[in-house]
């Protein structure tokens, strides 16, 4: 077998990539005359050493888990869904409609209904590109990204002309009623003596995201549908030969993907803003692509990668708050991580693979007695 061990593939490669990204980021920070050590300390302290910091890290991570899973599921069927942004926007719209126009007695019921509505709206937004790809061969990358713009235009129209309360300046809906307020980590884990997660937006949706991870794992590796999705992804001709209908699989995989992206709406719209705003997704749909790439399309990997990106977002906020490192450079640091873990993956993987194989050959040679 000429492959490196699984642990090296799953752990060592991302770790080395991260290290390289960190070194390059340190050089960038050094170049603008700030101290990289101090910057790193600020990021870690701000994101991981305070419970409120964790509250933000996990809030961002929740968004990225949903969009990362969405990309991962589609990718198993070899579909590149870059419409997570638009699907999440529509999901948020679904959440807002449920929360605003139905009087809920308790948040738990509202959460269930909002989840269903968010998933439905997200899935429907993915349906047309999926159908076009499956039956007409219109490339899913083109159609999903075009649907992102349509979603933005639709949301803008609705918020400015229909859903905005009269006389309000901001294009946003009214605040949701108090009854649909989701318990935040602060509500759940704080006691009177020790306030935890103060003011941070992490909420019960994080556990929904964990459930979604479990669901995706079971779906892909433990069900017949998951097997069919993977078979389709590996080879469409072979899948068709085995009696799998590609049209059906493409549409179903995209519906699930869209539903997962749509679920992000419950975190950002119901959990954080508690009203629908124009910019509710703020790029999480695209970060999901990086998260899925880094997480190797496995739910556990997606979870870990999402937390890493949550850390980068929250740490970046701390840098912006307390240093003079400009916002653009914080984006550069985040981009370096994406570049190294996603795009330049092979740069680390191939030398590492060669090193492992060489080591193995040496071992086997030593094990065999000299002729």
Partner 1 sequence: MTLMKSLSGAAAALALTAGAALAEPALIYDLGGKFDKSFNEAAFNGAQRWAEETGGEFRDIELQSEAQREQALRRFAEAGLNPVVTTGFSMATPIANVAPDYPDTKFVTIDGYVDPEEHPNVLSILFSEHEGSFLVGMLAAMASETGTVGFVGGMDIPLIRKFACGYAQGVKAVDADAEIIANMTGTTPAAWNDPVKGSELAKAQISQGADVIFAAAGGTGIGVLQTAADEGIYSIGVDSNQNYLHPGSVLSSMLKRVDVAVYDAMSAGADLETGVQVLGLAEEGVGYALDEHNAELISDEMQAQVEEAKSRIIDGEITVTDYTAEDSCPALTF
Per CB under 8 A, residues contacting partner 1 are 34-35, 38, 42, 56, 59-60, 149, 152-153, 155-157, 160, 164, 166-172, 175, 199-201, 268, 272-273, 275, 277-280, 282, 313, 316-317, 320-324, 326-327, 330-331
Instruction: Kindly state the smallest distance separating residue 34's Cβ from partner 1, in Å.
Output: 7
Minimal distance, residue 161 CB to partner 1, in Å: 8
Q: Which residue number, 117 or 280, has a Cβ lying nearer to partner 1?
A: 280
Dist CA 210 CA 215 (whole Å): 9
CB-neighbour burial class of residue 324 (10 A; exposed 0-12, middle 13-18, buried 19+): exposed
Cα separation, 265 vs 235, whole angstroms:
33
As a whole number of Å, the end-to-end CA separation of the chain is: 23
Shortest Cβ 42–partner 1 spacing (Å): 8
Nearest distance in Å: CB 176, partner 1 = 12
For partner 1, the closer of residues 159 and 252 by Cβ is 159
- Nearest Cα to 182, choosing from 156, 208, 153? 208
For the bound state, the minimum distance from the C-beta of residue 153 to partner 1, rounded and expressed in Å, comes to: 4
What would the two tokens of residue 75 be? 């990718």
Phi, psi of 167 (to 5 degrees): 80, -5
Q: Which is nearer to partner 1, 170 or 187 (CB)?
A: 170
Q: How far is the CB of 232 from partner 1 (least distance, A)?
A: 33
Indicate the residue among 67 and 268 with the shorter CB distance to partner 1: 268
Decide whether 75 or 206 has the Cβ nearer to partner 1. 206
Distance CA(321)–CA(52), nearest Å, equals 15
Answer positive or negative: Cα dihedral of 133, 139, 140, 146.
negative
Q: How far is the CB of 184 from partner 1 (least distance, A)?
A: 12
Q: Which is nearer to partner 1, 77 or 89 (by Cβ)?
A: 89
Q: Nearer Cβ to partner 1, position 199 or 351? A: 199
Burial class of 127 by CB neighbour count within 10 A (0 to 12, 13 to 18, 19+): middle
How many Cα atoms sit within 13 Å of 228 on the Cβ side?
A: 17
């Amino acid at each position: 077998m000429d492959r490196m061990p699984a642990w090296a593939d799953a752990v060592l490669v991302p770790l080395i990539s991260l290290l390289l990204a960190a070194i390059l980021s340190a050089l960038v920070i050094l170049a603008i005359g700030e101290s990289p050590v101090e910057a790193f300390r600020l990021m870690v302290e701000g994101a991981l050493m305070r419970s409120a910091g964790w509250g933000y890290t996990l809030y961002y991570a929740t968004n990225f888990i949903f969009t990362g899973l969405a990309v991962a599921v589609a990718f198993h069927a070899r579909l590149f869904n870059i419409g997570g942004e638009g699907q999440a926007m529509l999901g948020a719209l679904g959440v807002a409609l449920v929360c605003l126009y139905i009087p809920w007695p308790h948040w738990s019921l509202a959460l269930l209904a909002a989840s269903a509505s968010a998933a439905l709206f997200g899935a429907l937004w993915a349906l047309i590109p999926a159908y076009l790809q499956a039956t007409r061969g219109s490339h899913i990358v083109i159609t999903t990204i075009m649907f992102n713009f349509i979603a933005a235009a639709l949301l803008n129209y609705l918020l400015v002309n229909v859903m905005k309360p009269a006389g309000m300046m901001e294009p946003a809906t009214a605040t949701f009623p108090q009854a649909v307020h989701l318990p935040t980590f602060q509500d759940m884990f704080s006691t009177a003596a020790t306030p935890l997660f103060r003011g941070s937006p992490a909420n019960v949706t994080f556990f929904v995201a964990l459930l979604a991870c479990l669901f995706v794992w079971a779906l892909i590796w433990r069900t017949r549908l998951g097997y069919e999705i993977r078979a389709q992804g590996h080879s469409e001709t072979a899948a068709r030969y085995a009696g799998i209908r590609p049209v059906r699989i493409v549409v179903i995989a995209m519906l699930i993907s869209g539903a997962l992206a749509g679920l992000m709406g419950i975190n950002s719209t119901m959990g954080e803003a508690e009203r629908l705003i124009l910019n509710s997704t703020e790029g999480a749909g695209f970060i999901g692509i990086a998260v899925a790439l880094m997480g190797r399309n496995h739910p556990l990997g997606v979870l870990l990668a999402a937390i890493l990106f949550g850390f980068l977002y929250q740490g970046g906020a701390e840098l912006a708050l307390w240093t003079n490192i400009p916002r653009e450079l914080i984006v550069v640091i985040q981009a370096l991580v994406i570049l190294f873990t996603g795009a330049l993956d092979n740069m680390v993987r191939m030398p590492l693979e060669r090193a492992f194989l060489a080591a193995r050959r040496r071992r086997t040679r030593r094990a065999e007695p000299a002729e």
